[in-house]
Amino acid sequence: MESTSVRPGYELWRPNREKAETKTMKAIVSFVLLVSAGLLVVITIGGWTRLEGSSVAIMTLLWAGLYVLFALLVARWNRGVLPVASALAIVLAIVAGVAAPGWFARSKSGFSPPPLPDDLLGLLTIIVVAVQLLLIAVAMVGFNQNWHVEEERPVGGVPLAGEDEDAALPPEEEEALPEEDDETLPRLEDESLPPRDDQHR
């Protein structure tokens, strides 16, 4: 539940961001995004002679730039980009899966070699598919961790005066309390019974 206003003496905090598994997942998502961007840049530069003059190279570089931007936003606990990153990863996985066989087909003689071998570019494209599947999984896990949930807590984490009245007393104060004696408890008469007649006639 998100809070829009804070009571005096309280502060907002996001408890899910303090968990170790949440911090780990945030780092994993950012890392996978950067790896995806790096692979796209390497494939684009390595196969530039194959892609030069087409819009594919420019689109691939823009895609890599988006992944870098998403990685920076995720590092700042931006949860909203995770579904977008998953959607882009699905599209990229499909495109890379279709393009991978083409790199291996160009490795035959008669084609001018690109800066990187065609077989290596094909292998990197297959790795892109695997990385995108991983990105989809970790992004959805991170999204379900609810990084955005806000709660109120006393400033400094110390309960305010009067808020912990039901808290348990210290042992020394509990010993100082008087103990109740069963003999001092009032005895109630059972009025439901009829009065006894001690005189027998």
Report mean pLDDT in 10-residue bins for the chain, 201 residues: 55 72 93 97 86 77 96 92 96 93 73 77 94 96 81 60 47 52 50 54 45
pTM: 0.69
The pLDDT value recorded for residue 145 is: 86
The pLDDT value recorded for residue 15 is: 73
**Do the beta carbons of residue 128 and residue 38 sit within 8 Å?**
no
Of the candidates 95, 87, 85, 90, the one whose C-alpha atom is nearest the C-alpha of residue 126 is 95
